[in-house]
Structures are given as structure tokens and as C-alpha cells.
Amino acid sequence: MNSFNINKRVNPLGLKKDEYDVIIIGAGIGGLTCGCYLAKSGMKVLILEQHHKPGGYCTSFRRNGFTFDAGVFSLGGCSDKGNLGKIITDLKLDRFVDLIRLNPSDVIITNDCKIAVDNDLNKMIHQFQSNFPSESEQIEKLFKFINNSSYSGLFTELKNDSLEDLLDKYFHDPKLKSMFGLYMGHFGQPPKRTSAMASAVVFKEFMLDGGYYPKGGIQSFADAMAKCFKDNGGDLIFSCLVEKIIIKDKKVKGVMLKNKSNIRAELVVSNCDAIQTFFKLVGREQLEKTFIDRMNRMVPSTSAFAVFLGISRRVDLDHKCKYWYSSNSMSENGLLGFGRGGKDEIMEHIIFSFPSLYDPNLAPKNCESVCLLTGAPYADKEFWDNNRDEIAERIIREAEKIIPRISDHIIVKEIATPLTYHKYTLNDRGAAYGWACTPSQITKDVLKQESELKGLFLAGHWTSQGFGISRVALSGYNAASIIKSAVLHDK
């Protein structure tokens, strides 16, 4: 990871109080990463966040002594060679947060099989081979193909393929395909609709370099980035909603807040939902018709439905890690009960995470924090008001197949629907990770990080291939690098 320094302000005469070199909209990990690098380089940077805490989906919340992670359950790519690991080293984030690594990082469970995802590549390959001996040679080939390929190599090889295409190319056993489809898929998106390229990124960053967890909960990582940003001179304002990006003659001039006050800057980075960025904050009148048409054709990812439980006993599991679970009963009966699109719309599964299993301080003594998450299409308030409790009960009943009699010990229960995730992130339809990762939407420039409007840049998962904190952090680094180059060029 190349560090950079500008060592002087964009405006050598000095900036006024309400003027900044760069304004960043959104204190998600992409925005925080971008802000850290720009502030570190000597620029006057302001981050504006509509929520009362940093992180976006990388946040935690507390209820009656229990800590729950809202959407991100672990970090990937944190090794010395990983994208996020390089950023952590570059920004010296270990000053503010301690990462532990779970081993195994995950356990995958279906009706037919249970496999632990070991941190050691050879042990992981052996786990799959011992469960599927007839596919041993092909299992090793797939692991080594993804492990030894660069991101550009994976893009060249897989850009036109679905995950189903990739699995069919390597395997015959449908049970093995189901295991990989569950773990490499995208929040319930079925393999035939999921990009093989995006799935390979998930595989590379989570299966081969995953299982990292910050002590204190996922929020600790976002808080560490916010502290790094402020330590480098950046300004960060919470509960501050940007209503408009001010543009004159196709050039950025600053932002207008909800209270109608203006803050000036000739460079703005939007780390928020791309649909909101262009259609609300910028406005269609500033955009070319071809761009509007392209945006209208793009499809956001699915959202999520989560149940957060505080239980009055410790869980007894073989491994302290996340669990991925799918069963025949789930597929046949349905967790969500949508009835539109059927199995083509969502592949139902549950991701289990246990913050207090990784850090005992995240729950009262002899208790456990349990997070249960599944992919969920968007629906209106009436649907969730009528169905959320029933859906939560279905998820808990399925969870009892992994944690018996959990219902008898619930003392805290919170439910999050796609409407909840929209409320706290403003992502269109509560999208979990930007655009849906389908083959038709995976291109090298999902959205260019330097927009057609002078001074407007993008960061975050709406610009990246694949999903996960590692990818959005990398997008933040890339946005900062592009801005640095643009500033030096203008000088």
C-alpha cells in the first residue's frame, strides 16, 4: 500500500471556517479510509454522517448489557498481504484496536454435511476432500486457482460467468455445490444469479483470509478509524444529514445540509448509496441521459433480516466462530414467506454470530449475545408490521437445530428488517452491499470513482466488485489516491 503526502493545503492562502479541501458524505468504512489518507496527507477534510456513530453496516449496539453487531460479523483480508491488512498497517490502526483471528473462521452446515473453514489452506482443503472424496482433485484445483490468481486474473477468467457456471465447471456432486453455493453466494442470492467473479473475491478474502474480529465488537474497528481520522486533523460531525451537493457549471462547490446551511469545498466524496448520490444529492438535471438510463438499469443487492438475542446461558458449540446454516425445511417451507419469485428470488439460510463467544465482555456473565441474519428482499412497512414477529420465530426455531432450546433462555430480543437497515444507512431498499453481484453488473468500473462532474468522487461498496469491509476500505484508499493525483495535476 503506497502512502502519500501532499504537505500543503489545496488553498495556500488558507481556508475559512466553513471551507474545506474535501467533504466526505458518510462515515462508513470507505469514507473513513478515504478521510484518513487525505487528512494524513495534509488536507483539510470534513466527514458528515447522518447516523450518531461511525461505521455504516460496520456498527454494534448494546441492549441491557448485551452487545450485538448490526450487519458485519467479521473482517477478511487482514493478513499482511491482504487489502485491509495493508491499510491497517499503513494507518497504524493497531494503536486503537486489537484484532483476534478465529480458527476456524466459519462452520458451514447443511442437511448433508458440516465443514469447518480452517485458517490453514491445506487443512481446509483436506476438510472438503474428506467429506467429498470423489471430488478431491477438483476441490484442490478450485482452491488453488482462486488462491493463486490476482484480482485482475479472476476478473478476466470469470467476468461473464455465474457462480453456478463456476461450480459446474469444477464439480459433479450437488451436495458439494450446495456447500460452496451457501458460503460463496451473496446474502441468499442463488448461484445462477450470482457473479462468479464476486464469489471468488468472497472466497479469497473470507475463506482464505477471514475470521478476524475486533475486541469490543465490530464497532471498535469503525471507532478506531474515526479516531485515526481525527488524530490526523480531520473533522467529523454526526447526526448531520446532507441534503444537496452544490454544483455550478458542472463543478462541485460544496454541500447543503438539512438545516439549509452550506459548507464549501471544491472536492466532495460520496460514500453513500449511489442512487441517492446522483438522483437526490446531485439531481437528474445535472446528469447525462445515458448515465441516467444506465443507473435505472442497475439492480441493488438484497437486504437483510436479523434477529438479535440475549440469552441467559452460554452456547455450547464445537467451534468459536460464525456458523452458516441451510436446511431442506428452510427451502421447502420458507423463512420469509414472500411468495414472489420463489426460490429464484432468494436462497434462504441463516448466518449465526456470537460476539460474546469471541469476546466475553460483550454479554453479562454466563450469558451470550447471538446474532441471526438472513438475506431478505425489500417490502413495505405494512408487510413487516404484519410478518416480522412470525418470521423472527421461524428463524429462532431453525436456530434451535444448532443451539437447542434457545427459546427458553431469551431475555433480550431485537429484530431488524430491510426498513431498519435503510433507516440507519439510507441505502436504497436497505441494500446490503451496493449493487447486486450479478454477471451483467460486474464490470471493472461498476461506477467510476471519479465522476463526470468535476470535483465529485465516489467511495464505498457501490463502486466495488464483491462485498465486505476489505473491499470498501480499498475503495476509500483508491478515492484518496485519485484525489491526490487530481490535486497535484491542478497545481
pLDDT at 330: 56
Handedness of CA 185, 188, 191, 196 (dihedral sign): negative
For residue 381, pLDDT over 50 is answered with yes
Q: Residue 472 has which C-alpha cell?
A: 470498501
Question: Beta strand pairing status for 45-48 and 19-25?
Answer: parallel
Q: Does some domain include residue 157?
A: yes
For residue 2, pLDDT over 60 is answered with no
Give every CB contact of residue 96 below 8 A, 6+ residues apart in sequence. Answer: 223, 224, 227, 228
**What single string gives the DSSP state of each residue in 194-256?**
SBHHHHHHHIIIIITT--EEETT-THHHHHHHHHHHHHTT-EEESS--EEEEEEETTEEEEEE
pLDDT at 20: 97
Instruction: Using the 3D structure, point to which of 380, 395, 425 is the last residue of a domain.
Output: 425
In a shared domain, residues 405 and 481: no
**pLDDT (tens digit per residue) in 424-480:** 999 999 999 889 888 888 875 668 899 999 999 999 989 876 678 999 999 999 999
Q: What is the mean pLDDT of residues 98-110?
A: 95
Q: Does some domain include residue 8?
A: no
Q: How many CB atoms lie within 10 A of CB 353?
A: 24
Q: What is the mean pLDDT of residues 52-59?
A: 96
Cis peptide preceding 214, ω within 30 of 0: no
Q: What is the mean pLDDT of residues 10-32?
A: 80
Please state, in angstroms and rounded to a whole number, the distance separating the CA atoms of residues 300 and 445.
16
Print the domain residue range for 203: 101-212+300-425
Give every CB contact of residue 321 below 8 A, 6+ residues apart in sequence. Answer: 102, 103, 104, 105, 106, 107, 116, 211
In a shared domain, residues 333 and 208: yes
Which spans in 2-90 are helix H? 29-40, 83-90
**pLDDT (tens digit per residue) in 154-169:** 989 999 999 999 999 9
Specify the range with the lowest mean pLDDT, choosing from 105-114, 247-256, 302-311, 321-330.
321-330
- Nearest to residue 163, comparing CAs of 128, 136, 135, 187? 187
**pLDDT (tens digit per residue) in 393-438:** 999 999 999 999 999 999 999 999 999 999 999 999 999 988 988 8
**pLDDT (tens digit per residue) in 294-343:** 999 999 988 999 999 999 999 999 999 999 998 765 555 555 655 444 43
Instruction: Using the 3D structure, point to which of 373, 405, 425 is the last residue of a domain.
Output: 425
In a shared domain, residues 57 and 185: no
For residue 269, pLDDT over 50 is answered with yes
Phi, psi dihedral angles at 432 (to 5 degrees): -80, -30
In a shared domain, residues 208 and 314: yes
CATH number for the domain harbouring residue 25: 3.50.50.60
Give the mean pLDDT of the chain: 90
Neighbouring-strand partners of residue 69:
60
In a shared domain, residues 107 and 251: no
- Nearest to residue 198, comparing CAs of 240, 154, 168? 154
Whether 359 and 284 have beta carbons less than 8 Å apart is answered as: no
Specify the range with the lowest mean pLDDT, choosing from 32-36, 62-66, 161-165, 345-349.
345-349
Q: What is the mean pLDDT of residues 104-118?
A: 92
| DSSP three-state, residue 132 | coil
CATH number for the domain harbouring residue 389: 3.90.660
**Count: domains in the chain:** 2
In a shared domain, residues 198 and 315: yes
Express the helix, strand and coil content of the chain in percent, nearest 5 each. Answer: 40, 20, 35
In a shared domain, residues 237 and 133: no
In a shared domain, residues 203 and 79: no
Q: Does some domain include residue 138?
A: yes
**pLDDT (tens digit per residue) in 38-47:** 999 999 999 9
User: 147-152, long-range: CB within 8 Å, 24+ apart, which pairs?
Assistant: 147/121, 147/204, 147/208, 149/200, 151/201, 151/204, 151/465
In a shared domain, residues 356 and 455: no
**pLDDT (tens digit per residue) in 343-363:** 344 557 899 999 999 999 999
Q: What is the mean pLDDT of residues 365-375?
A: 95
Q: Does some domain include residue 369?
A: yes
Q: Does some domain include residue 109?
A: yes
Please state, in angstroms and rounded to a whole number, the distance separating the CA atoms of residues 119 and 131.
18
pLDDT at 14: 53
pLDDT at 166: 95
Q: Does some domain include residue 13?
A: no
Q: What is the mean pLDDT of residues 118-145?
A: 95
- Whole-number Cα distances in Å, 242 to 235, 263, 454, 462, 464: 15, 10, 19, 18, 23
For residue 146, pLDDT over 70 is answered with yes
Percent share of the chain, pLDDT over 70: 90
Q: Does some domain include residue 430?
A: no
- Whole-number Cα distances in Å, 51 to 25, 176, 271: 11, 42, 13
Please report which confidence band the pLDDT of residue 205 belongs to, taking 50, 70 and 90 as the band edges: confident
In a shared domain, residues 55 and 149: no
Q: Does some domain include residue 9?
A: no
In a shared domain, residues 54 and 64: yes
In a shared domain, residues 173 and 309: yes
Q: CA 212, 217, 218 angle in degrees (round to 5)?
A: 65
For residue 5, pLDDT over 90 is answered with no
Please report which confidence band the pLDDT of residue 8 belongs to, taking 50, 70 and 90 as the band edges: very low
Specify the range with the lowest mean pLDDT, choosing from 17-21, 143-147, 228-232, 306-310.
17-21
